[in-house]
Structure 1
Amino acid sequence: MLTVARKAAELIKTHRNDSIQIISHMDADGVCAAAVISKALDRNNVEHHTKFVRMLYREVVEELEPTDLTIFTDLGSSQLQNVHNRFSGHDVIIADHHKPERVEGWRELVHFNAHQFGLDGAQEVSGAGMAYIIARELDQANRDLSGLAIVGALGDIQDAWGKLLGYNRQIAKDSIDSKVLEQKIDLMFYGRHTRPIFKALETFTDPPIPGVSNSAPGCVSLLKDLDIPFKSDGRWRRPIDLTDLEKRRLATELIARAYTAVPKELVQYVPGLIIGEAHTLLKEDERSMLRGADEFSTCINSTARHEQPLIGFEVAKGDRRTYYRAMLNLLRYHRRCIAEGMEFIEQSGLERGRRGYLQYFDATGKIKETFIGTIASLTLGHPACDPYKPMMGIIRKDGVAKISARCSKLLFLKGLDMARAIRDAARLVGGEGGGHAVACGAQVEENRISEFLDRFENLIIEQLG
Structure 2
Amino acid sequence: MFETSKKAAETILKHENDSINLISHMDADGISAAAVMSKALDRMEIRHQVKFVRMLYPEVIEELDTGGLTILTDLGSSQLTNLKPKFEGNEMIIADHHAPEEEEGWPELVHFNAHKEGLNGVEEISGSGMSYLIAKELDPENKDLSAQALIGAIGDVQNAWGKLKGYNRKIAQDGMKEGVIDQKEDLLLYGRHSRPIFRTLKNLTDPSIPGVSNSTEGCVSMLKDLDIPYKTEEGYRRPVDLTEEEKRKLASELITRAVSAVSEELVDYVPGLIIGEVHTIVNERERSLLRDADEFSTCVNATARHEQPLIGLEVMKGDRNIYYRKMLKLLRYHRRCIAEGMSHVQRMGIEVGPNDYLQYFDASDALKETFVGTVATMMLGHEEADPYKPMMGLVKHDGVAKISARCSKLLFLKGLDMGEAIKTAANAVEGNGGGHAVACGAQVNDDKIPEFIENFENQLLEEA
Tell me the TM-score normalized by structure 2: 0.98
Is contact 1:98–1:436 with CA below 8 Å preserved after alignment?
no
Are residue 145 (structure 1) and residue 135 (structure 2) matched?
A: no
Listed one character per residue, the Cα deviations across residues 212-233 of structure 1 (whole Å, up to 9, x for unaligned) are 0011110010000001111122
Deviation larger for 102-111 or 126-135: 102-111
Q: What is the Cα deviation at residue 236 of structure 1? A: 0.6
Listed one character per residue, the Cα deviations across residues 407-434 of structure 1 (whole Å, up to 9, x for unaligned) are 1111110111111122222222222222
Is contact 1:179–1:282 with CA below 8 Å preserved after alignment?
yes
Could you tell me which residue of structure 2 aligns to residue 392 of structure 1?
392
Are residue 403 (structure 1) and residue 406 (structure 2) matched?
A: no
Q: What is the Cα deviation at residue 289 of structure 1? A: 0.6
Is contact 2:2–2:117 with CA below 8 Å preserved after alignment?
no
Q: What is the Cα deviation at residue 447 of structure 1? A: 2.2
The one-letter code sitting in structure 1 at the alignment partner of 2:36 is V
Q: Secondary structure at 1:332's aligned position in 2?
A: helix
Is contact 2:19–2:46 with CA below 8 Å preserved after alignment?
no
Deviation larger for 246-255 or 58-67: 58-67
Structure 1 residue runs without a partner (length 5+) = none
Q: Distance in 1 between matches of 2:454 and 2:109?
A: 38
Could you tell me which residue of structure 1 aligns to residue 224 of structure 2?
224
The one-letter code sitting in structure 2 at the alignment partner of 1:60 is V
Q: Secondary structure at 2:270's aligned position in 1?
A: helix
Q: What is the Cα deviation at residue 101 of structure 1? A: 2.2
Could you tell me which residue of structure 2 aligns to residue 103 of structure 1?
103
Is contact 1:57–1:432 with CA below 8 Å preserved after alignment?
no
Q: Secondary structure at 1:283's aligned position in 2?
A: coil
Q: Distance in 2 between matches of 1:399 and 1:63?
A: 25
Q: Secondary structure at 2:382's aligned position in 1?
A: coil
Could you tell me which residue of structure 2 aligns to residue 413 of structure 1?
413
Could you tell me which residue of structure 2 aligns to residue 86 of structure 1?
86
Could you tell me which residue of structure 2 aligns to residue 463 of structure 1?
463
Q: Distance in 2 between matches of 1:216 and 1:278?
A: 24
Q: Secondary structure at 1:45's aligned position in 2?
A: coil
The one-letter code sitting in structure 1 at the alignment partner of 2:211 is G
The one-letter code sitting in structure 1 at the alignment partner of 2:232 is S
Is contact 1:281–1:290 with CA below 8 Å preserved after alignment?
yes
Could you tell me which residue of structure 2 aligns to residue 132 of structure 1?
132
Task: Extract structure 1 runs of 4+ deviating beyond 3 A.
Answer: none
Q: What is the Cα deviation at residue 280 of structure 1? A: 0.2
Could you tell me which residue of structure 1 aligns to residue 340 of structure 2?
340
Could you tell me which residue of structure 2 aligns to residue 211 of structure 1?
211
Q: 1:254-265, aligned counterparts within 5 Å?
A: 254-265=254-265
> What percent identity do the matched residue pairs reach?
65
Aligned Cα root-mean-square deviation (Å) = 1.3
Q: Secondary structure at 1:426's aligned position in 2?
A: helix
The one-letter code sitting in structure 1 at the alignment partner of 2:21 is Q
Q: Distance in 2 between matches of 1:104 and 1:399?
A: 37
Is contact 1:98–1:435 with CA below 8 Å preserved after alignment?
no
Is contact 1:394–1:403 with CA below 8 Å preserved after alignment?
yes
How many positions carry a matched residue from both structures?
A: 464
Distance 1:84 1:460, change over 3 A: farther
Q: Distance in 1 between matches of 2:110 and 2:395?
A: 35
Are residue 362 (structure 1) and residue 362 (structure 2) matched?
A: yes
Structure 2 residue runs without a partner (length 5+) = none
Q: 1:371-386, aligned counterparts within 5 Å?
A: 371-386=371-386
Distance 1:215 1:312, change over 3 A: same
Is contact 1:24–1:72 with CA below 8 Å preserved after alignment?
yes
Could you tell me which residue of structure 2 aligns to residue 329 of structure 1?
329
The one-letter code sitting in structure 1 at the alignment partner of 2:281 is L
Q: Distance in 1 between matches of 2:356 and 2:106?
A: 45
Distance 1:121 1:445, change over 3 A: same
